[in-house]
Structure 1
Amino acid sequence: MLRLALRPPFAVAPVLAALAAHAVPGVELADPAAARHTRSVPAPHGPAVVAVHLTAEHVDATVHAHPADEAAVVALVRRWLDLDADPAAVAAVLGADPLLGPLVAARPGLRVLGHVDGFEAAAVTVLGQQVSLAAARTFAGRLVAAYGGPAPLGLRAFPRPAVIAAAAPEELRAAVGITGARARTLIALAVACADGLDLRPGQDPAEVRRRLLALPGIGPWTADYLALRALGDRDALPATDLVLRRALGNPPAADVVGQAERWRPLRAYAVTHLWTAQAYL
């Protein structure tokens, strides 16, 4: 077991709720009551599994991987759970805001939940377009069952882009239970990722957004959501998001952008606080 340091406080309950709400069947095991979450993750020598136990002061991680991959998996976990965040810096930007201030005070140390796999994040987001979160998880579980591979502890690894890129659209549609148009979008996304579209932190968000929007069936909401979840852009703002707009009183997207100007350069933390207040706790 490895003890991963963080800057307290760490708002554990909202993170566990979000992880459980988005858990992909076969890939993840959520246990919010025990403050634990287990999932497969990609690693240089093949799929690994990490089990994390979250506390307000630290995160304990148990890694099941090739010995040479332990450091890479730990780095993934740190980005996934935003363990290098500085809660004091976030509070300095958002704490005095009339809307965000009470939320920051209620959940000090709330993290922006990232992802361990940019392609998985993008694929599940595509599967979740215009359907409920529960339906998206069902579709993702079917995708994993049909195209994923084995991982430690009996879990499954999310399929790699090249595998989905090689699938026939009708075969994919039937296996997952999605529309033909959604299957074609998923394949186009997989082809782009197999050809070098990198959905990891450190990329230029504007360039990634441009490339995503060039794909069929991917619009601004998907691109902006992935900037927040996959790219780690701490100023990302999915202005068309329905939950975010509801939290702000249902203004048009242009007004969301204007209202969020005062939250720069940490709009992703503002969005996460508003999502959390609306959707989880």
Structure 2
Amino acid sequence: MTVLDLDHVGPLHAEPLLGALAAHSLARVQVTEREGTAQESADRESKVRGSVRRLLDLDGLDVKVTVRIQDGGVSLELPDDVDAARVELARTAVRRWFDLDLDPTAVHARLGDDPRLAPLLAARPGLRIVGHPDPFEAAMTTVMGQRVSLAAGRVFGARFVDHFAPRIAGPGDLVPFPLPSVVAAADPAELQRAIGVTGARARCLVELARLFADGLDPVREDPGLVRRTLLAVPGIGPWTVEYLAVRVLGDRDAYPSGDLVLQRALGVRTASEAEALAEGWRPWRAYALFHLWTHESYVPGGGVRQTGDPRAGGLVPTEPTGP
């Protein structure tokens, strides 16, 4: 086993990372586990520890990786037979996934004077934005989760994986998320029946898969072009695009102002009110967003008790309206 300790600047808090991971882990694709008991978590002298396991596509090869997370550190484990070039690809992907290149100083300098955010920054000064290692998976599961509860979104995601990915024997086995080319070739009506979404949502999923199959690469392409391309898909609106901008594009000023969890955390009822309150947080609105989401949804627990279980409930960032 190859083990890499990944460096970072400033403090690093495991609890919100594990909470966010568990809230969005998809059965058979990603497994998030936490070590220790709730009582141990309440003990400030005890380090929170956990891990996430999944397959990473490293230059066309699906490699099982384990990322171990604890207060103050992140490490990456890969099989010994992975070549050096792919090890570096994995290192880069995991650093981006967990925002390990963040220097919290600039974020605190901009956000620390806001009375809404100051207590959250003081409680979690090293909060990182949890991204996603697979842009296609992130896009598809986000669309499946539009306007439904976390439980329903994860049920749709589990059905989607079961429909396209072969069932394999043995507890703990992982499968890759279905390829864009496979989903792009699907009949929307068949997809609708298989996973239980509306016909409009099934057509949106197939059209989105076609974009990725045709070469859409949100990580490497111009963010403005990616936003415009996604918005042109029937069934995708501003909330979805801004959410993906935070978790996939790495836009640290992205801000889905229509999000219901965000609005509740701010004590407002409209997107325009949320926008106005956040004007002074530029260019770091995504960090303010993640502090508010974390406070409302991801800790304590954040769904960790139901790791990988599509039946789990809980609060997640939620689109107010849409297709």
Higher relative contact order (CA closer than 8 Å, sequence separation 6+): 2
Of 191, 206, 209, which aligns to 1:187? Answer: 206
Paired residues of 2:97 and 2:132 also in contact (CA < 8 A)? yes
Secondary structure at 1:156 match in 2:
coil
**Which residues in structure 2 correspond to 1:98-247 (within 5 Å)?**
98-148=115-165, 154-200=173-219, 202-247=220-265
Q: Percent identity?
A: 49
* Distance (Å, rounded) in 1 between the aligned partners of 2:268 and 2:276: 14
**CA positional deviation for 1:149:** 6.2
Name stretches of at least 5 consecutive residues in structure 1 with no aligned partner.
Answer: none
Of 33, 45, 49, which aligns to 1:31? Answer: 33
* Distance (Å, rounded) in 2 between the aligned partners of 1:274 and 1:58: 23
Paired residues of 1:199 and 1:208 also in contact (CA < 8 A)? yes
TM-score by length of 2: 0.82
**CA positional deviation for 1:272:** 0.1
Paired residues of 1:149 and 1:159 also in contact (CA < 8 A)? no
Paired residues of 1:81 and 1:112 also in contact (CA < 8 A)? yes
Matched, 1:251 2:269: yes
Give CA-to-partner distance per residue, 1:134-181, whole Å, 9 cap, x none.
211121122112213699x72000011111001111221122222211
Give CA-to-partner distance per residue, 1:200-229, whole Å, 9 cap, x none.
2x5332221111110010011001100001
**CA positional deviation for 1:255:** 1.9
Root-mean-square deviation over aligned CA pairs: 1.7
Matched, 1:51 2:66: yes
Show the counterpart of 1:7.
9
**CA positional deviation for 1:17:** 0.6
Secondary structure at 1:32 match in 2:
strand
Equivalent residues, number:
279
Secondary structure at 1:26 match in 2:
coil
Q: Which amino acid aligns with 2:17?
A: V
Secondary structure at 2:58 match in 1:
coil
* Distance (Å, rounded) in 2 between the aligned partners of 1:78 and 1:8: 15
Q: Which amino acid aligns with 1:107?
A: R
Give CA-to-partner distance per residue, 1:75-123, whole Å, 9 cap, x none.
1111001011112222111112111111100111000110101111000
Q: Which amino acid aligns with 1:278?
A: E
Paired residues of 1:45 and 1:66 also in contact (CA < 8 A)? no
* Distance (Å, rounded) in 1 between the aligned partners of 2:249 and 2:216: 12
Show the counterpart of 1:63.
78
**CA positional deviation for 1:243:** 0.5
Show the counterpart of 1:83.
100
Q: Runs of 4 or more off by more than 4 Å in structure 1? A: none
Secondary structure at 1:218 match in 2:
coil
Q: Which has the higher helix share?
A: 1
* Distance (Å, rounded) in 2 between the aligned partners of 1:154 and 1:258: 47
Q: Which amino acid aligns with 2:182?
A: V
Paired residues of 2:110 and 2:284 also in contact (CA < 8 A)? yes
Show the counterpart of 1:263.
281
Show the counterpart of 2:46.
none
Change (3 A) 1:111 1:191: same
* Distance (Å, rounded) in 2 between the aligned partners of 1:63 and 1:180: 40
Give CA-to-partner distance per residue, 1:4-51, whole Å, 9 cap, x none.
111130121011011001100001111123411111222213212211
